[in-house]
């Protein structure tokens, strides 16, 4: 709210003379404060307080409606922004982020300087954030909310945790209240207590959270995004805005990826370009390829097509200060596979070349190819998949299960027809479809298909399919639902498809 009212730099320029800012929402049957600024906190307001009571204390409160979805969008945007420090970023509740910076801190001058950089940049964006670095996620959570120490070495874990309140162990409010009533107000009061009575009285969660904070029990971190297989990045001295400069930089980063791909004997199938804008916004641009790719010029050409489309939605603002190129998916690069757009060659007119360029401009799902699926039931026997995912190399065969002749066109939904047959279980002699009567001159069948019992309803009946030709030479695929010998008194007839 403050950023929207006074701009992102208001913390640097100073807070204007304005009333306290709070957010309120409906909690049960009452309107309560869900968020407050530092000025509101200074006059004694608190989260969970009734709005009427807060207005009685300060009538000129600036009150806005709480918006949980907007809060989540902001947290997601901040998580994207934190990718500049580490690719392992996880959401921590509704108001926190958890970063695994193992092996990353030295790139920023050490843990303390890295934390200073994070907090300073967030403050410049108008956000008041707190943070801590330790060897466990539980201790970092506790220090960032209840502690004064910001960086703790692994050997000092217990000492840093001892003086913190028990609420820092991420326990339920009722458990915290019960511990305080028993006189156990600090974490240090719990460490040396007998564990069995403590668990019986307050539950096993107390011991689990304590052990996680101390590092005795591991605590997995679930990053928002999968870790890139290969990554190359560039910090820029001066922000860039020009598209051609971005493409030149993308080609340079792609050249940095090439040795790593060659060492693996692979080529990239999915690339991701991340552009970090000066004000903190992050743009993610993905391009997929129909065949494994290493050539930097080819990768840059795909991004040129992609940026042509994304130009209207990608506002460079004051420029991009940090750029990263990731390989999200790769595949074995076979010897003899043609190198596209090399220094000495012109662009190829190959199928993968065409697929890549069109998909980069119009999106990965713009080209689809029909494929046969592992099902004999007509509604599930075929489908359309992305051509980018389907084509592995030029001329790759498409394996299809062996089936009898099928029509070129299948109706999206089988349509009922009225049939006259010489004998009840025989082929149709004539049929009426869409108010037109057709006289059958040739027929083949029946081909009996039984339902897939593991997918279909138990009442689904077998079908007898007939390939029929009318007097005009048109050929149709018709089936009878239900069998006379199975007790069906009046099986229905349906039109499934049309042959060429």
| 272: CB partners within 8 A, 6+ apart | 228, 284, 285, 286, 325, 326, 327, 328
DSSP per residue over 310-375, as a string? HTTT---TT-EEEEEEEEEEEEE--TTPPPSS-TTSPPP--HHHHHHHHHHHH-TTS-EEEEE-S-
CA distance 437 to 431: 6
pTM: 0.71
Q: Are 104 and 86 in contact (CB under 8 A)?
A: yes
| Tens of pLDDT, residue by residue, the chain (500 residues) | 788 788 877 887 888 888 999 999 998 888 999 999 989 999 999 999 999 999 999 999 999 999 999 999 999 999 999 999 999 999 998 889 999 999 899 989 999 999 999 999 999 888 889 999 999 999 999 999 998 888 999 999 999 999 999 999 999 999 999 999 999 999 999 998 999 999 999 999 999 999 999 999 998 888 988 889 999 999 999 999 998 999 999 999 999 999 999 999 999 989 999 999 998 899 999 988 878 889 999 999 999 888 887 776 788 888 999 999 999 999 888 765 444 444 444 444 566 777 777 777 777 777 777 777 888 888 888 777 777 666 553 444 445 555 678 888 889 899 999 999 888 888 999 999 999 999 999 999 899 998 888 887 777 888 999 999 999 999 999 999 987 776 666 789 999 999 97
Largest CA distance in the chain: 95
- In 402-466, alpha helices (H): none
Q: What angle do CA 435, 441, 443 make, to 5 degrees?
A: 95
C-alpha span between 176 and 202 (Å, rounded): 9
d(CA 248, CA 270): 19
What is the Cα–Cα distance from 394 to 337, expressed in whole angstroms? Answer: 10
* 210: three-class secondary structure by DSSP: helix
Residues in the chain: 500
Nearest CA-CA partner of 347 in 391, 300, 309, 285: 300
Cα separation, 179 vs 157, in Å, equals 22
């Amino acid at each position: 709210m403050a950023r929207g009212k006074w701009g992102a730099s208001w913390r640097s320029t100073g807070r204007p003379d304005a009333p306290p800012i709070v957010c309120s929402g409906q909690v049960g049957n009452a309107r309560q404060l869900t968020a407050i600024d530092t000025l509101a906190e200074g006059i004694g307001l608190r989260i969970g307080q009734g709005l009427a009571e807060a207005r009685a204390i300060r009538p000129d409160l600036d009150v806005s409606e709480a918006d949980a979805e907007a809060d989540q969008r902001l947290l997601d945007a901040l998580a994207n922004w934190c990718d500049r420090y580490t690719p392992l970023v996880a959401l921590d509740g509704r108001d926190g982020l958890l970063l695994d910076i193992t092996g990353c801190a030295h790139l920023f001058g050490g843990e303390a300087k890295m934390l200073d950089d994070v907090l300073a940049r967030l403050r410049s964006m108008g956000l008041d954030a707190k943070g801590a670095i330790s060897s466990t996620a539980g201790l970092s959570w506790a220090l960032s909310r209840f502690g004064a120490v910001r960086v703790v070495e692994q050997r000092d874990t217990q000492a840093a945790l001892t003086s913190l309140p028990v609420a820092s162990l991420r326990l339920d409010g009722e458990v915290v209240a019960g511990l305080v009533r028993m006189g156990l107000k600090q974490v240090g009061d719990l460490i040396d207590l007998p564990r069995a009575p403590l668990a019986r009285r307050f539950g096993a969660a107390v011991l689990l959270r304590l052990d996680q904070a101390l590092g005795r029990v591991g605590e997995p971190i679930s990053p928002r995004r999968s870790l890139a297989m290969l990554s190359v990045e560039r910090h820029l001295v001066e922000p860039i805005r020009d598209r051609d400069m971005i493409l030149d930089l993308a080609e340079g980063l792609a050249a940095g990826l090439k040795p790593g791909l060659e060492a693996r004997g692979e080529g990239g199938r999915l690339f991701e370009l991340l552009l970090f804008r000066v004000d903190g916004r992050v743009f993610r641009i993905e391009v997929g390829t129909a065949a494994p790719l290493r050539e930097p010029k080819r990768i840059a050409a795909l991004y040129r097509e992609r940026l042509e489309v994304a130009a209207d939605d990608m506002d460079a603002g004051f420029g991009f200060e940090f750029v990263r190129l990731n390989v999200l998916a790769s595949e074995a690069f076979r010897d003899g596979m043609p190198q596209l757009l090399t220094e000495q060659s012109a662009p190829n007119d190959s199928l993968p070349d065409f697929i890549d360029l069109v998909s980069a401009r119009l999106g990965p799902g713009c080209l689809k190819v029909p494929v046969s699926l592992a099902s004999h039931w007509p509604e599930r026997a075929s489908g359309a998949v992305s051509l980018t995912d389907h084509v592995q190399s030029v001329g790759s065969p498409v394996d299809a299960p062996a089936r009898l002749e099928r029509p070129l066109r299948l109706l999206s939904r089988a349509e009922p027809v009225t049939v006259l047959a010489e004998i009840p279980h025989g082929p149709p002699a004539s049929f009426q479809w869409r108010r037109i009567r057709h006289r059958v001159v040739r027929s083949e069948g029946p081909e009996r298909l039984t339902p897939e019992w593991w997918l279909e309803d138990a009442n689904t009946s077998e079908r007898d399919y007939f390939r029929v030709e009318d007097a005009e030479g048109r050929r149709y695929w018709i089936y009878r639902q239900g069998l006379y010998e199975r007790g069906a008194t009046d099986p229905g007839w349906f039109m499934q498809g049309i042959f060429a």
